[in-house]
Each structure stands twice: as C-alpha cells, then as structure tokens.
C-alpha cells in the first residue's frame, strides 16, 4: 500500500481524495492546507490520520511515500521541488509550472532522485479518447489534411464571479493554462509534435470584483484562445478555446483525411469526462456513430467522471512506482505542454508565427 499525502484541497477534495481512497493500492495518510483548521476539518471529513500546515513536516512522515499536488499553478514549482528533493513520488496537476525553465528543472530533479513523477493529463485515459486514438493509429482517415478542435464552456461566463488567482496571468490563470495545457498534450499524443504556432489570446471580461476589497480589479488572463498550429508533418490544426461562452457543443475534435473522417465530441455541460461519443465515415459516406469496444470502458462508474479518469492516472502512477519505471505521461510531457503555452504567449505578444523546437532540443538547452 502506497501512502499518499494530498496537497491542495479544492479539486483534491472532489477528485484526488476519493480516487486515492478507492484505489486498491493507495492510502491517503496526510492532508496539507496552509490553514491548520481547514486541514483538520478535511482530515476528519475523509478519515485521514494526519493534518498539517507545514509541508516539510508532512514530507517527513515515514508513512508518506508519494504526494499529489493540486494547488493553483503559481504554487506548483516550489511545492513540487520540495516534494522531489524529499525523494517522494509526485503526481502534479497541470499546468505543471509557470514556465518551461521551471518545468525542466522539476523533470531533471525527478530523474536525479529516481522517483516517479506524473501529470494529470486525464484525457489520455477516457474510453472514447483511447478508442479514438486507436482508430487514428489504424489509419482510419488516411493522410490527415485538417484537424479542428473546439473546447467551449461557460465556467467563467458569469461576470459576477469574483476575482481570484485565475484572473491574473502572473499566477498561471487563464483558459490557456487550464484548458490549453490539456489540449497541447493530447494534440501531441494523438497527432504528433507541433512545428510552428500562432496564438491570439483574448480577455472578454476585463474586470471582476475582488472579494477582499469589494472593488473591481483588472483581469489580465485570457478567457478565449484562438490557436493555429502546423504540425511537424505539415498538418494544419485549428484550436478554439473559451471559458466564457454558452455553447451546446462543449468539446469537439474533427479529423479530416484523404480516406475518411473521425469526430470525437461531447455536449455534456456538467461533466467534461462523461458524454463523449465517436463518429466516423469513409470518403463519400454519411457520418455514423461508432460503438466503443468494451475493453476501453471504465471498470466502475462514478457520478463525477473526473474520478473515473483520475483513477486510471493513479493506476499508471502506482504501476510506475511499483516497477520503478518512468511512465507516460511524465513531467517530460508536462514540459512540452508548458513549452507550447510559453510560445503561445510569445506569439500573442509579437503578433506573429513562432517556430516550435523539438522536445529533445528543449531538454538540451
């Protein structure tokens, strides 16, 4: 049984803790929160034996072998560095850091310490996505000529939603970090490396009420992203991401090739894991829904789909820890996602296309 300390208590309470407690080979042995009263309340609620407000003390516990971090992005680097330096295995939420330099440092530190570090790139573990990947790998569409991705939601469409860390780029806020980080990872997984990109980042809601002051405060993080990518193999890819629109089609990927078409999509507004379907057609034929083979399906249903996908992330992490082997996704994939986010900001600021170096080039800088 692997003893896990949970750092971060928002997403962690909803997803991390339930998943770790459901997994047959993990036990949540400690919870960290900067407010000791909150830490103790969370520990009592979930029957966790240790609550702490000092991360070093948590890491010193002999029962803690691994740590999950789901704090806001601006806290990731220092916390993850502390975890890795203590020789603990790491599960880190995305975006893993605020820039690629920090991401590379964490990756190298994990390698030097011989620990297994993974990133919660959960779309790799959704049944419909895994089947979609298999269809692509079997050349269902032939040579890909166009990829279109729309990821549209209303999570921040309410102008009365208060200002917080998400509202500022400096702390890793914005749709590019929360959604684009996932998109960049699954584009690389499904279709391959990016050769160049062009990004335009928009802030539709430019002010929000700061709950501490009661006054309007400027928002400088993006809530809509328009991205044009050209893959290394020359394939064009259009990506539209927004957190401030009321769209009936929430997450949609369309792949057009010389032999056929594949579509992966969900219109589930309340659960971004459940609700995906796959459609396909060969050239000249109508688009038809394709049933998902049983081997891809989640073995157990949870009302919150995020737990279903996260459990598979945990399972891979546990296998890596048990076998002492680096797994995919690791911090290596986190570096690549972060690289594309950094270059998107560079492209937006310069108003021009930016060439994307290979991951090996970045690691050798």
Q: Is residue 149 part of a domain?
A: yes
Q: Is residue 15 part of a domain?
A: yes
Number of H helices and E strands in the chain, helices first, is 12, 17
Q: What is the pLDDT of residue 365?
A: 85
Q: Is residue 71 part of a domain?
A: yes
- On average, the pLDDT of the chain sits at 97
- From residue 223, how far is each of 168, 180, 310, 313 by CA, in Å? 11, 11, 25, 27
**How large is the average pLDDT for residues 180-196?**
98
Q: What is the tens place of the pLDDT at every residue in 73-131?
A: 999 999 999 999 999 999 999 999 999 999 999 999 999 999 999 999 999 999 999 99
Q: Is residue 277 part of a domain?
A: yes
Q: What is the tens place of the pLDDT at every residue in 249-268?
A: 999 999 999 999 999 999 99
- CA 279, CA 140: separation in Å to the nearest integer? 12
- CA 206, CA 193: separation in Å to the nearest integer? 33
Q: Is residue 82 part of a domain?
A: yes
For residue 283, pLDDT over 90 is answered with no
**Same-domain pairing of 68 and 132:** no
**Same-domain pairing of 212 and 290:** yes
50: β partners: 30
**What is the signed CA dihedral for 57, 63, 69, 71, rounded to 10 degrees?**
-40
CATH assignment of the domain containing 44: 3.40.50.720
Q: Is residue 29 part of a domain?
A: yes
Closest CA to 341 of 124, 174, 149: 174
**Same-domain pairing of 188 and 83:** no
Structure tokens at 12: 């962690």
For residue 284, pLDDT over 90 is answered with no
**How large is the average pLDDT for residues 184-212?**
98
**Same-domain pairing of 228 and 177:** yes
**Same-domain pairing of 176 and 276:** yes
**Same-domain pairing of 84 and 161:** no
Q: How much of the chain exceeds pLDDT 90, in percent?
A: 98
Q: What is the pLDDT of residue 175?
A: 98
**Local structure of 315: helix, strand or coil:** helix
Q: Is residue 173 part of a domain?
A: yes
**Same-domain pairing of 138 and 215:** yes
Q: How far is CA 56 from the centre of its chain?
A: 26
Q: What is the pLDDT of residue 122?
A: 97
Q: What is the pLDDT of residue 9?
A: 85
Structure tokens at 54: 């000092």
Residue given tokens 């990109």 in the structure block: 197
Q: What is the pLDDT of residue 23?
A: 97
**Same-domain pairing of 104 and 214:** no
Range of the domain at 154: 123-297+338-350
**Same-domain pairing of 344 and 238:** yes
- CA 249, CA 337: separation in Å to the nearest integer? 24
Residue given tokens 């290596």 in the structure block: 332
Closest CA to 339 of 316, 321, 361, 322: 361
**Same-domain pairing of 159 and 186:** yes
Q: What is the tens place of the pLDDT at every residue in 308-344?
A: 999 999 999 999 999 999 999 999 999 999 999 999 9
Q: Is residue 363 part of a domain?
A: no
Q: What is the pLDDT of residue 161?
A: 97
**Same-domain pairing of 96 and 194:** no
**Same-domain pairing of 133 and 146:** yes
Q: How many structural domains does the chain have?
A: 2
Q: How confident is the model at residue 192 (pLDDT cuts 50, 70, 90)?
A: very high
CATH assignment of the domain containing 138: 3.30.360.10
Structure tokens at 177: 């970090």
- CA 164, CA 217: separation in Å to the nearest integer? 10
Which residues have a Cβ under 8 Å from the Cβ of 55 and sit 6 or more positions away?
A: 7, 32, 79, 82
């Amino acid at each position: 049984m692997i003893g896990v300390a949970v750092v971060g208590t928002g997403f962690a309470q909803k997803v991390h803790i339930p998943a770790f407690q459901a997994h047959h080979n993990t036990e949540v042995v400690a919870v960290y929160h900067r407010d000791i009263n909150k830490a103790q309340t969370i520990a009592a609620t979930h029957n966790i034996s240790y609550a702490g407000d000092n991360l070093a003390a948590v890491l010193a516990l002999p029962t803690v072998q691994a740590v999950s971090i789901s704090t806001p992005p601006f806290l990731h680097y220092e916390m993850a560095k502390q975890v890795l330096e203590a020789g603990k295995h790491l599960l880190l939420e995305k975006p893993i850091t605020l820039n690629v330099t920090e991401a590379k440092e964490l990756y190298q530190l994990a390698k030097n310490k011989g620990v297994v570090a993974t990133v919660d790139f959960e779309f790799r573990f959704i049944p419909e996505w895994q089947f979609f990947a298999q269809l692509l790998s079997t050349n269902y569409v032939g040579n890909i000529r166009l990829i279109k991705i729309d990821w549209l939601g209303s999570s921040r469409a309410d102008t009365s939603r208060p200002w917080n860390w998400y509202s500022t780029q400096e702390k890793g806020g914005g749709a590019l970090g929360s959604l684009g980080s996932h998109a960049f990872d699954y584009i690389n997984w499904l279709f391959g490396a990016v050769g160049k990109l062009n990004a335009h980042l928009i802030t539709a809601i430019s002010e929000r009420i700061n709950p501490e002051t009661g006054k309007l405060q400027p928002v400088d993080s993006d809530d809509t992203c328009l991205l044009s990518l050209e893959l290394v193999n020359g394939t064009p890819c259009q990506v539209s991401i927004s957190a401030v629109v009321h769209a009936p089609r929430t997450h949609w990927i369309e792949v057009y090739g010389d032999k056929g078409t594949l579509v992966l999509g969900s219109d589930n507004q309340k659960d971004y894991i459940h609700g995906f379907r796959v459609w396909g057609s060969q050239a000249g034929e109508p688009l038809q829904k394709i049933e998902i083979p049983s081997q891809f399906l989640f073995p157990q249903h949870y009302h919150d789909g995020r737990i279903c996908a996260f459990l598979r992330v945990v399972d891979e992490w546990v296998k890596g820890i048990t076998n002492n082997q680096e797994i995919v996704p690791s911090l290596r994939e986190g570096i690549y996602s972060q690289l594309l986010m950094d270059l998107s900001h560079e492209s937006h600021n310069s108003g021009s296309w930016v060439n994307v170096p290979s991951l090996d080039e970045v690691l050798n800088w």
